[in-house]
């Protein structure tokens, strides 16, 4: 046991070393033009085939141009497309805050804000979609208004429903394009009247019809200022749950909480990160929810170095490779760093710069971070190494987080086992865990009490080891099943286990 513990420690150290050595090279996304006045804001996302998409706004004379580019060779080369380059209505108008998501058909959607020169706060929210995988984009639609949030985001669920935030009186709203249809647009308040408008929202879709939101808000009397809240909708944004306080620590003082970001893992553990200045300078914190957002754990500080202004965190998770947080250090002259956690966000390794070492002396701004199933971790960032600001993407190849006793033998369970699902009862989705002592054919299905198959979750050969499977309460046709008692049945080789679960709508 002691030898195994030492080996695990060494392997985890090796994981961090490998992480540090695999970034690069930095790839300039747009090599055809260099915007005269620089560039601001960027986002990155993956389609279902792990092709990489980016969006950004380049500043040309008398215009702000919304761009999209796609790479089908792991970020080595990029095909650029202009999303919107229509002339600005006034000299001081501005396009800003682009965000990107792919729908279930792998078509990209880009959303951005258009600030009106006659107002310092008002902006219209524009959205454009591609119908051919990003080769071209349709004319944009104005889907809502915003007071200006310094941030935009977009999420698309498995039904193709599009979710976009709007910060407008009386508060934070969620704009919904049901199944991606502009004619089925509706807008729903997120924060209650007891809270002042929510700022810096971030969205995360989960399965079908479920959207998670984190945002900053103040109480009406400012007795609870600058706090991070979580809310969710399980009916495609028709209604939202009462917001839950993510962290109570800022109640001790005005900590300037900003930039919350959210992700979720396959067990529905929710991770929320943000920046605040409780230690004097700004630091990055992370809190987790193990019960679907009902409550959150005590936060941990993500950055190990407390000197400097750590801000604008972005977060990505993959079940095989761990949790990653990208953030910015500094204000006028900034650097960016990535940290990794291989224990579910309990601890984080040393920070790593994803930028080529010869260019780290230049100023970088945070874009976004994402990771694919092959362990390719992509970071989009803005850099002024060429005099003007340009968009770069760099990639790291991440080793899995599993620990091996030797090269050929994974630590194996000793028994065949099926867990009780968690949570139970549930109304959104639930996780089923099982383990196999030896390789065998596995059949895991959901049945109603009449013995009829509702959903086949797994059917195939599996190696010995531990597994976890999520059921979202849908049947084989993608329809929501009714409340009631269901059976989940695991057949592994010649062995069979049956357990009950309870679904409450």
Same-domain status, 286 and 140: yes
Same domain assignment for residues 85 and 187: yes
Is residue 80 located within the same domain as residue 155?
yes
Write down the residue that tokens 């141009």 correspond to.
65
The values of phi and psi at residue 183, to 5°, are: -75, -15
Domain for residue 15, yes or no?
A: no
CB 101 within 8 A of CB 92: no
The confidence band for 126, taking pLDDT boundaries of 50, 70 and 90, is very high
In a domain, 179, yes or no: yes
Residue 43, number of CB atoms within 10 A of its CB: 25
pLDDT at 56 over 90: yes
One domain, residues 328 and 424: no
Name the domain boundary from 300, 331, 354. Answer: 354
Residue 499 near residue 418 (C-beta atoms within 8 A): yes
CATH code for the domain of 144: 2.120.10.10
Residue 132 is assigned to a structural domain of this protein:
yes
Q: How far apart are CA 123 and CA 119, in angstroms?
A: 8
Helix (H) or strand (E) holding 371: strand 364-371
Residues 408-446 pLDDT 10s: 333 334 467 888 888 888 887 888 988 888 888 899 999
348 and 423 share one domain: no
Yes or no: say if 263 and 271 are a contact pair by the CB < 8 Å rule.
yes
Residues 160 and 268 in one domain: yes
We report the CATH number of the domain holding residue 498 as 2.60.40.4070
pLDDT in tens, 366-414: 899 999 988 999 999 988 888 778 899 999 998 876 433 333 333 334 4
Query: Where does a domain end: 316, 336, 354?
Result: 354
Q: What is the mean pLDDT of the chain?
A: 85
Structural domain includes residue 381 = no
Residues 193 and 299 in one domain: yes
**Per-residue pLDDT at 2 exceeds 50:** no
Q: Note whether residue 278 is domain-resident.
A: yes
Pairing of strands 376-386, 440-447: unpaired
Contact 342, 351 (CB under 8 A): no
Per residue in 69-119, pLDDT (tens digit) is 999 999 999 999 999 999 998 888 889 899 999 999 999 999 999 988 766
Nearest CA among 216, 281, 268 for reference residue 472: 268
Q: Among all chains, which residue has been given the structure tokens 């790839």?
A: 27
Encode pLDDT of 283-311 as tens digits: 999 999 988 899 998 899 998 877 778 88
User: CA distances (Å), 416 to each of 7, 29, 266, in order?
Assistant: 26, 50, 22
User: Which DSSP state fits 398?
Assistant: P
**Residue 150: pLDDT band with limits 50, 70, 90:** low
Asked which of 327, 354, 381 is the last residue of a domain, the reply is 354
- Domain residues for 303? 28-354
The size of the chain, in residues, is 505
Query: Is 14 inside any structural domain?
Result: no
Q: Is residue 379 part of a domain?
A: no
Q: Are residues 301 and 441 in the same domain?
A: no
- Whether residues 224 and 307 share a domain: the answer is yes
SS3 category, 179: helix
Q: Does residue 167 fall inside a structural domain?
A: yes
Say how far apart CA 14 and CA 407 lie, in whole Å.
14
Q: What DSSP state is assigned to residue 193?
A: T
Residues 426 and 350 in one domain: no
Contact predicate 137/81, CB 8 Å: yes
Q: Please name the helix (run of DSSP H) or strand (run of DSSP E) that holds residue 359, with its range, or none.
A: none
Same domain, 336 and 427: no
Domain tally, the chain? 2
CB atoms within 10 A of CB 301: 14
| Together in a domain, 319 and 427 | no
């Amino acid at each position: 046991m002691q030898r195994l513990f030492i080996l695990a420690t060494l392997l985890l150290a090796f994981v961090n070393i490998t992480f540090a050595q695999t970034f690069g090279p930095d790839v300039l996304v747009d090599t055809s033009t260099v915007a005269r006045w620089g560039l601001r804001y960027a986002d990155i996302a993956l389609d279902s085939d792990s092709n990489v998409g980016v969006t950004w706004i380049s500043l040309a004379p008398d215009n702000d141009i919304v761009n999209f580019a796609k790479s089908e060779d792991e970020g080595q080369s990029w095909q650029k497309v202009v999303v919107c380059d229509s002339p600005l209505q006034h000299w001081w108008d501005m396009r800003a805050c682009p965000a990107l998501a792919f729908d279930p058909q792998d078509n990209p959607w880009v959303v951005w804000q258009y600030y009106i020169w006659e107002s310092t706060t008002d902006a219209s929210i524009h959205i454009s979609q591609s119908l051919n995988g990003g080769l071209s984009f349709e004319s944009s639609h104005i889907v809502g208004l915003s007071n200006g949030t310094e941030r935009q985001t977009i999420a698309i669920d498995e039904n193709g429903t599009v979710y976009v935030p709007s910060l407008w009186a009386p508060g934070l709203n969620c704009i919904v394009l049901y199944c991606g249809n502009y004619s089925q647009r509706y807008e729903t308040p997120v924060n209650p009247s007891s809270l002042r408008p929510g700022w810096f929202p971030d969205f995360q879709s989960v399965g079908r019809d479920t959207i998670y939101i984190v945002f900053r808000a103040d109480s009406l009397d400012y007795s609870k200022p600058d706090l991070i809240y979580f809310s969710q909708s399980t009916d495609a944004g028709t209604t939202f749950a009462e917001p839950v306080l993510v962290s109570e620590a800022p109640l001790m003082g005005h900590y300037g909480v900003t930039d919350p970001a959210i992700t979720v893992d396959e067990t529905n553990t929710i991770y929320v990160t943000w920046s605040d200045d409780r230690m004097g300078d700004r630091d990055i914190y992370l809190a987790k929810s193990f019960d679907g957002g009902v409550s959150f754990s005590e936060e941990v500080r993500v950055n190990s170095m407390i000197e400097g202004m750590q801000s604008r965190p972005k977060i990505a998770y993959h079940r095989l490779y761990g949790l990653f947080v990208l953030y910015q250090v500094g204000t006028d002259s900034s650097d960016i760093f990535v940290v990794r956690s291989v224990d579910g966000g309990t601890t984080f390794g040393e920070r790593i710069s994803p930028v080529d070492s010869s260019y780290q002396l230049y100023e970088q701004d945070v874009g976004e971070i994402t990771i694919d199933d092959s362990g390719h971790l992509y970071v989009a960032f803005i850099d002024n190494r060429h005099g003007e600001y340009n968009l770069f993407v760099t990639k790291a190849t991440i080793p899995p987080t599993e620990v091996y006793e030797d090269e050929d033998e994974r630590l194996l369970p000793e028994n065949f086992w099926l867990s009780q699902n968690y949570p139970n009862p549930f109304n959104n989705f639930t996780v089923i865990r099982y383990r196999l002592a030896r390789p065998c054919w596995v059949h895991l299905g959901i049945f109603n009490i009449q013995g009829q198959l509702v959903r086949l979750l797994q059917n195939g050969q599996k190696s010995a080891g531990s597994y976890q499977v999520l059921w979202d309460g849908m049947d084989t046709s993608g329809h929501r099943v009714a409340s009631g008692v269901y059976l989940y049945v695991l057949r592994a080789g010649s062995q069979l286990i049956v357990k009950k679960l309870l679904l409450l709508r």
